[in-house]
Every structure is written in C-alpha cells, then in structure tokens.
C-alpha cells in the first residue's frame, strides 16, 4: 500500500532530533530485530532503495572507516556518492553524507517529516506494529535522500547484518571487515554465529571483499559466499605497493 507523502515540512530540525531520540534504538530492552517493519515502511515510500547502486559494509572492527574510505574513493572518481554510517559523534546529520558533505539540517528535517508522517499513517491503518526505531527511521531517510542526490551510496551496517535495517538493499558489492565478539546477546556467543550474522548481507552472485579473519569467521563467510556463488576477494591475498 502506497501512502500519500506530505507536501510541506511540519517539523523543525530540533523537533525531528528530539523525536528520533524518543524512539529508542535496536538494543533497548524489548526491541525486535527483523526486516518486516522496514520492508513495509519502504513499500509505503514507493521503495526508494530500488534502482539504486550500493556498497554494503558489515563487520566488527573498522567498518566505519572502511565505509568512509570507499565513499571518498568513489567521490574522487566523480561519482555523486552517498555515505550512511553510525553512530554520530556530535549531530545526527553526520550519519547521512551526500556528495562529501553531511546532510543539511533542512534536508534532514524534510526527510524525517516524510518518513515520520508515513509511519504515523501506517500505524493508524494498523500496517505497522510500532513506529520504526531511530535506526530504521534514519535508514529510510538516507535511502530517500540517496535516491534524490546520489549515483552510488555506501551503507554501513548498524548491528549484525542479516536482520539489520540496511539489509533491504541490493548492493553491487559487499564488504566484511574483521569480525570479532560484539553484541553477543543479539548475534550469538561464538565467533562462528556472529560471522554468520555479518555474512547475512551477502546476496546471490554479488562480489564480496573480506578482510583477514580469524579461522572460525573465515570459514563461515567463505562457505556462505560459495553457496551464493559470490565472487570472493580476500584482502589477505594482496599487498600494498610503496
């Protein structure tokens, strides 16, 4: 079901930030991980994630800096590049970068107003079980802005990979940075189970670049890549030339 988008921005930037913080995040007590709510929301927004080009980055260590470096390289090659990372250091606008610059407060508020308005309509129509979380909301905002402004966008996973809100995209390339123990309450208490969640971003036939991994993680990631027929590029097979 496609809902009607608002024609004017009703919320200011401070209002949008205040509302976002009130929503809470994916690791609060009682939070439900999954893609059902995100897919329903994007369908109501006319699926802005479709017909876009993406690089999807998961992992435990270095995924934010890796995402930033990939985006910088794409930007220098004259691509209109988007970058989605989390968390932010000072302001939420840092999470969405358009063509080398953080999104403006005005565009942030406008995108929030659209996503929030649609979410409220869906709640009233009982099309959502709850308002999208902070991360789900900002992910949808980023997808709307990337569709308008960018040729290709780099999206960093927030939590895990398989059930992360960013895992609604169809990327041209997947990247997995070193996997280590993190968020065991959500991803499992073994390195293999955590790696399986991270490797959940892999898509059939889509190339994947993986950093050097501990053996348990390497086995899981390579097995999934093999099952999905993903061309596999190991950074350990290459060396930097001085």
pLDDT for the residue numbered 31: 63
Residue 5 lies in a domain: no
Does some domain include residue 90? yes
80: nearest Cα among 53, 41, 42: 53
What per-residue confidence (pLDDT) applies to 2? 40
Tell me whether residue 191 is in a domain.
Answer: yes
**In angstroms, rounded to a whole number, what is the distance separating the alpha carbons of residues 81 and 154?**
8
Nearest to 156 by CA among 144, 142, 145, 221: 142
From the CA atom positions of the chain, what is the Rg in Å?
Answer: 18
Q: pTM of the entire structure?
A: 0.93
Domain assignment of residue 76, given as a range? 13-237
User: According to the model, what pLDDT value does residue 27 have?
Assistant: 63
Q: Is residue 242 part of a domain?
A: no
**Backbone dihedral region of 101: left (phi > 0), alpha (psi from -120 to 50 degrees) or beta?**
beta
Q: Is the peptide bond preceding residue 87 cis, with omega within 30 degrees of 0?
A: yes
CA pair distance 14, 102, nearest whole angstrom = 16
Q: Is residue 3 part of a domain?
A: no
Supply 228's token pair: 């999905």
Q: What are phi and psi of 175, to 5 degrees?
A: -135, 135
CATH code for position 223: 3.40.1190.10
User: In the chain, how many domains are there?
Assistant: 1
* 3-state SS, residue 166: coil
Cβ 51 vs Cβ 172: under 8 Å: no
Closest CA to 54 of 207, 172, 208: 172
Q: What is the pLDDT at residue 228?
A: 98
Helix, strand, or coil here: 75?
helix
How does pLDDT run along the chain (242 residues), one tens digit per residue?
A: 344 444 445 689 999 999 999 987 766 655 677 899 999 999 999 999 999 999 999 999 999 999 999 999 999 999 999 999 999 999 999 999 999 999 999 999 999 999 999 999 999 999 999 899 999 999 999 999 999 999 999 999 999 999 999 999 999 999 999 999 988 777 888 999 999 999 999 999 999 999 999 999 999 999 999 999 999 999 999 887 65
pLDDT in the model for residue 158:
95
Q: Is residue 2 part of a domain?
A: no
Domain membership flag for residue 228: yes
How far apart are the C-alpha atoms of 220 and 214, rounded to whole Å? 10
């Amino acid at each position: 079901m496609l809902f009607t988008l608002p024609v004017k921005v009703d919320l200011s930037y401070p209002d949008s930030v205040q509302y976002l913080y009130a929503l809470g995040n994916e690791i609060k007590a009682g939070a439900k991980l999954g893609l059902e709510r995100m897919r329903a929301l994007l369908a109501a927004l006319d699926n802005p994630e479709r017909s876009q080009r993406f690089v999807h980055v998961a992992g435990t260590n270095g995924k934010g800096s890796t995402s930033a470096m990939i985006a910088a390289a794409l930007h220098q090659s004259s691509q209109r590049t988007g970058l989605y990372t989390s968390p932010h250091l000072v302001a939420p606008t840092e999470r969405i970068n358009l063509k080398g610059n953080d999104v403006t407060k005005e565009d942030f508020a406008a995108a929030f107003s659209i996503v929030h308005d649609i979410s409220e309509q869906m709640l009233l129509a009982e099309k959502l079980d709850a308002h999208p979380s902070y991360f789900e909301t900002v992910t949808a905002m980023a997808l709307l802005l990337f569709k308008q402004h960018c040729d290709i966008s780099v999206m960093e996973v927030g939590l895990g990979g398989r059930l992360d809100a960013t895992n609604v995209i169809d990327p041209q390339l997947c990247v997995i940075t070193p996997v280590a123990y993190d968020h065991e309450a959500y991803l499992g208490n073994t390195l293999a189970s955590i790696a399986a969640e991270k490797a959940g971003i892999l898509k059939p036939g889509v190339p994947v670049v993986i950093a050097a991994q501990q053996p348990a993680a390497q086995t899981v990631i390579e097995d999934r890549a093999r099952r999905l027929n993903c061309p596999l590029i190991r950074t350990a097979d290459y060396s930097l030339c001085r």
